[in-house]
Amino acid sequence: MDSLRAEFPVFERTAYLNAGTNGPVPRRAIDAARESLRAQAEHGRGGTAFFNALVDESDALRGRVAGLLGCQLDELALTGSTTDGVNAALAALDLRRGDEVLTSDEEHPGVLAPLAAICERVGVRVRTAPFAELPGEVRAATRLVACSHVSWITGRVIDTAALRAAGAPVLLDGAQALGAVPVELRALGCDFYAASAQKWLCGPNGIGYLYARAELAADLPAPWSGYQVLADPGRPLEPALHPDARRLTTRLPSPHDTAFAHGALDVLEGPGIERVQARATGLSSWVADALRERDVTVAPRGASTLVSFEVPDPPGFIERLEAEERILMRALPCTSYVRASVGAWSSEEELDRLVGLAAG
């Protein structure tokens, strides 16, 4: 994967192991965004041709991501982030006072903050259970399960088969899965899946994706009404919404961000997404095993690209890695863990060096 690694300027300076926050940026994506901005500056941002191109490129992006997710084009809406998608799904559902939403003890604020808001606004009851035990905690009163596909804290993967069998509707946070591991939404059996462009797809901040199962989407209200949800924008006071997941759209991305996202996908698809994912998960497993062999405590994890491990002073360890070793990772708040986000672009040399530093 040397040719893939060469696409990212950051690796000329830093061992970048933080794609779980923001993925490394490829040159091709920067070139695409720059070209889009140049065209906007020279030709303007008005007129039918400009707007039609914006819609076409946004639809093309939806199509590429739908292919990665294993869903239909009409099941995917564009949002501003993973959290945007979570908020959109919660707002579209008819959750009422006293309804129970089940979540886990390893959720990101991008899930928990929207749950807290709907709890305060509507009176929904939120119940928390251990991540690994979540499917068994579903009750007859559970109206929705909202949890991560891949835990941002440990890298564990939720048991989607058991969750599906439990019978409650499911909203998955796919922030640490999309682009990192294979995702086949029909096989997962969830009702909603929220993810974003900037992490393992190496795209821009400000673009998110929300899957809504086709059988469900057509009957949902628009959580954020505007031009983007209308099937006929010429009659906005008698709104006919898109007949599919596009009614959950919260924004249309800027043309340069869309170009950025396309450029990044071009880079990842060069060697093949399947190869990229297989190498990343393989390297992650190697790092976890190597740390354990050196008596470093590794968080329970699954077949993911995240490796979290204990160190005595997480913030200090991260600061020292960056300042002295040019390794960029992150400490996980309110835990004893630091987290390495291992990509196909990571080198064996930098990962071996990290293991040695972690073992002291």
Which one of 3.40.470.10, 3.40.50.970, 3.90.1150.10, 3.40.50.300 gives the CATH number of domain 2-25+272-358? 3.90.1150.10
Task: Please tell me the distance from the alpha carbon of residue 222 to that of residue 220, in angstroms, as a whole number.
Answer: 7
- Please, which pLDDT band fits residue 348 given cuts at 50, 70 and 90? very high
Asked whether the whole model's pTM tops 0.95, one would answer: yes
Across residues 215-231, what is the average pLDDT? 92
Whether the per-residue pLDDT at 246 is higher than 90: the answer is yes
Q: How many CB atoms lie within 10 A of CB 190?
A: 23
Domain with CATH 3.90.1150.10 in the chain: 2-25+272-358
Its sign, for the CA torsion 8, 9, 12, 16, is: negative
Class of domain 30-268: alpha beta
- In sequence order, what are the beta bridge partners of 102? 127, 145
pLDDT at 258: 98
Task: Please tell me the distance from the alpha carbon of residue 275 to that of residue 297, in angstroms, as a whole number.
Answer: 29
CB 65 within 8 A of CB 203: no
Amino acid (one-letter) located at 354: L
**Percentage of the chain surpassing pLDDT 90?**
94
Scan for tokens 């682009």, then name that residue: 179
pLDDT at 275: 97
Length of the chain: 360
Q: What's the mean per-residue pLDDT of the chain?
A: 96
- Please, which pLDDT band fits residue 360 given cuts at 50, 70 and 90? confident
Domain with CATH 3.40.640.10 in the chain: 30-268
Those residues with Cβ within 8 angstroms of residue 215's Cβ, 6 or more apart along the chain or in another chain: none
pLDDT at 239: 79
Across residues 67-71, what is the average pLDDT? 98
Whether the per-residue pLDDT at 233 is higher than 90: the answer is no
